[in-house]
Amino acid sequence: MDIGRFTLLCADGSARRGELQTARGTIQTPVFMPVGTAGTVKSLSPHDLEDIGAEIILGNTYHLYLRPGDELIARRGGLHRFSGWKRPVLTDSGGYQVFSLSELRQITEDGVAFRSHLDGSKHFFSPEKAVAIQRNLDADIMMVLDECVSYEADQAYTERSVERTTSWAWRSRQAYPERSGENLLFGIVQGGFFKDLRRRSAEEICSIPFDGYAIGGLSVGEPKEMMREMLLLTAPLLPIEAPRYLMGVGKPLDILEGIGAGIDMFDCVLPTRNARNGTLYTSTGQVNIKNERYKEDDAPLDPRCSCYTCSNFSRAYLRHLYTARELLAYRLNTIHNLSFYQGLVQEARKSIEQQRFSLLTEYYRSVFSGHDEA
């Protein structure tokens, strides 16, 4: 096996169809990675995820480090053996959570000190520590520690941050110098919302030999147009021969736009979090299952969907479960939303192979614009 090899199978405009080899199997791209924050994709078992067709899931280093602890997981044989999920896992570096969840964080050149959002205990992440934790988790793909600046950050702050992120990226690489090793390592381009800084960060990060390159710091509250501008600017700056990962994005149309810009990998909490809030994605648009109109609706949630939920239950039953806050609601809704995202990237792959990706995007644009209810 040739771990880390990324093969471009074909392209349609900037959209790419590829394959990435990891220590635990080959991932077809474009790919969507469900988020399994604390060693479980909320409400699902690993077998549910296999049934959905998930090829790789994401684990959150920050959460797993705090609870149950990366060393405990290492003693259990890694995250796969601990959780029962056998396919590849990508772990983020913990940086995003440190900056968004933890308290009293203090950033220095060396790393970032923070207090746990669980119990207020003090912790410190350096680039080297983030790699060590992810190796303890035995992630198939690790991410370097980076600083994700807020939408409000000014140019001077963002510039210092870009320098720090580059320096941390080099240190991460040195902490695990093995290219195409058992644990792949991806770099992250930052630069906030300043074109020059995005260009500079892309140049610096891409000069470091990583197994893949990510775009971080988007979808943090900026207007959609600005996210789009930064994506279209940054994506072409990433090496054509390596996998490209757009972190934390997004809605179905955002993912199609990302693919259209040449992105191969995506993760986002939206399909899972929205499922738990009763917001469901279907082939005819967004459905709010709480809505009174589904009270006596015997049709499946999405007649064009073949997931477990749509094969076995009606909208009326799903509405009842959600209204009664029954635990089964969370699982059935999550299975459907993740199946929808899985179907979306599968259709994207096929449409790239058949040179009709832009038609697919247009189709989904018509599904998700104008009206929100099916």
CA–CA gap between residue 19 and residue 337 (Å, rounded): 24
CA–CA gap between residue 52 and residue 48 (Å, rounded): 6
The tokens of 101 are what?
């969840």
CA–CA gap between residue 211 and residue 199 (Å, rounded): 20
Residue 225 carries which side chain, given as an amino acid letter? E
Is 110 one of the annotated active-site residues of the chain? no
Only one of the segments 13-21, 184-192, 229-237, 317-325 lies at the binding site for a copy of itself (rule: CB under 8 A); that segment is 317-325
Q: Which among 144, 23, 32, 141 has a CA at the least distance from the CA of 86?
A: 23
Residue number with CB closer to a copy of itself (9 or 324) = 324
Residue 371 sits in the site that holds a copy of itself (CB under 8 A): no
Residue 227: how many other CB atoms lie within 10 Å: 23
Residue 291 sits in the site that holds a copy of itself (CB under 8 A): no
Residues 6+ apart with CB under 8 A from 176: 131, 135, 142, 183, 185
Residue 316 sits in the site that holds a copy of itself (CB under 8 A): yes
Contact letters for a copy of itself, residues 76-95 (x by CB under 8 A): x-----xxx-----------
CA–CA gap between residue 114 and residue 102 (Å, rounded): 6
Residue number with CB closer to a copy of itself (5 or 295) = 295
Is 267 one of the annotated active-site residues of the chain? yes
Site for a copy of itself in 326-345 (CB under 8 A): 326-328, 330-332
CA–CA gap between residue 151 and residue 341 (Å, rounded): 27
Contact letters for a copy of itself, residues 5-44 (x by CB under 8 A): ---------------------------------xxx-xxx
Closest approach of a copy of itself to the CB of residue 298, in Å = 6
Chain centroid to Cα 68, Å, comes to 22
Closest approach of a copy of itself to the CB of residue 92, in Å = 17
Catalytic center residues: 92, 267
* Chain residues in the site for a copy of itself (CB under 8 A): 38-40, 42-47, 67-68, 72, 75-76, 82-84, 295-296, 298, 312-314, 316-317, 319-321, 323-324, 326-328, 330-332
